[in-house]
Every structure is written in C-alpha cells, then in structure tokens.
Amino acid sequence: MSDLTGCYDQIVHNAVALALLRIGVSHAKIHTMFVSIQHMIHRVSTAFGDSELTYGGDDFENWLFAPQGVLQGNAAGPAIWSILSLIVFDVLHKNGHSDSFCSAISKQLFLLVGFAYVDDCDLIQSSADPLTVAQSMQGVIQQWGDLMEVTGGVLNLDPSKSYWYLVEYVWKRGSWVAADAKIGGINGSDLRHDPQIMN
C-alpha cells in the first residue's frame, strides 16, 4: 500500500504533455490547458473574505519554475492521472514487477502489477520464497517512488499511509493456509535483520 502526496497539484507539465502526446492528444489542446493553468491568478480564501494580494498570472515568468499540476476540480485531471500512472505501471511490468494469476473459470493467465485509485496504489509481488518476496517488494516500491518523482508525485513515507504485509501460505492437511510466523512460517526477525530490506 502506498500513498502519494498532492499528486494532482504536483504533476510536472512536461511529463504529462509527453504522456498525452503518446496517446494522440494534439499539441494545441495540451498547450491551451497548461498555458491557462500556468497563467492563473490565485487568491487565498478565508472566513473573512478573499485576499487582496494575489500570486500567479504573468508574474510567473520571473519565477524559477512555472506553476505545475492539473488542479483539483479539473475535469481532465482523473484521465490525465490515469494516463500517467499507466506509463509507470508499464515500466514496472517491463522491469519484471508483475505477478501471474490463473483465472478460476477461463483458466487464462493474466499479469497484474497492482491496483491504483488516484493517489493510492496497492502493489503486489509473489514468490515461493518469502525473503525473495520481501526483497522484490522493496524494489518495486523504490521504483514506484522514483518514477512518481519524475512525474511530480511524492511518496508519503508516513507508516500509516505507506506500508506492506507479507503473507505466506503453507500446505497443511490437504489445503493451503496462511502460515503463522511463529509456527512453521517465516521468522519475522529474518526480515528485520536482512541488510537489503528496509522496514
């Protein structure tokens, strides 16, 4: 489970422009939307009214960087975030961070990297060896965070927002059951003392 901080507000326009061009959105539409966002004039709203001082507008040309993001409430925001996330998922898949699942009814095999809903993402890794899973999970979350930084996202490192679980199944009395870490499963201390695995 990982959570990104302020994803809509921090999307880098260059990154999303390339992603939109990749799926055939015209230069003119991309330019129109991002120039409008970069030239917006912002006020702070309070219980006592809107501030007289503003920021933004044409002054941004004197800034180090132009304003970024696609803004909360932008009707294109969810689609833009989906397109950007799709590219990141594709990179993770190409780097081997996906799991194979066999459909119970059709018996067809499909690959799954994870599930995403806006800035929340559940990534999945599996292996026959629990230590391999833990190392792989550390690798996928590191790559997820790095790739999101390129697009403007920031991984929330608060343990209540970004965390993982290790579930091990063992064959017991003719069926698969979740292993008890203390009885017949992986010893949790093996993970904590492995220098390659972050808690």
Task: Please check whether residue 101 lies inside any domain of the structure.
Answer: yes
177 domain residue, yes or no = no
pLDDT of residue 194: 42
Instruction: Report pLDDT digits (tens) over 67-102.
Output: 888 888 888 888 898 898 889 889 999 988 888 888
Q: Is residue 171 part of a domain?
A: no
Contact 7, 84 (CB under 8 A): no
Dump pLDDT digits (tens) for 158-186: 888 888 888 888 888 899 888 876 644 44
Q: 114: buried, middle or exposed (CB in 10 Å: 19+, 13-18, 0-12)?
A: buried
Contact criterion met (CB below 8 Å) for 98 and 113: yes
> For residue range 144-159, what is the model confidence (pLDDT) as tens digits?
889 888 888 888 888 8
Q: Is residue 189 part of a domain?
A: no
Give start and end residues of each alpha helix (H) in 95-197: 130-151, 188-192
Summarised one tens digit per residue, pLDDT across range 107-120 is: 898 888 888 877 88
Token pair 């808690």 is at which residue?
Answer: 199
Residue 11: domain span: 2-166
**How does the average pLDDT of the chain come out, rounded?**
82
Count of domains for the chain: 1
Q: What does each C-alpha distance from 48 to 44, 52, 87 come to in angstroms?
A: 10, 11, 44
179 within some domain: no
pLDDT of amino acid 182: 61
Q: State the pLDDT at residue 13.
A: 92
Q: Residue 193's pLDDT is what?
A: 38
Whether 56 is in a domain gets the answer yes
Whether pTM exceeds 0.75:
no
In a domain, 130, yes or no: yes
Is 180 a domain residue?
no
How far apart CA 147 and CA 81 sit, in angstroms, is 13
Letter for the amino acid at 59? Answer: D
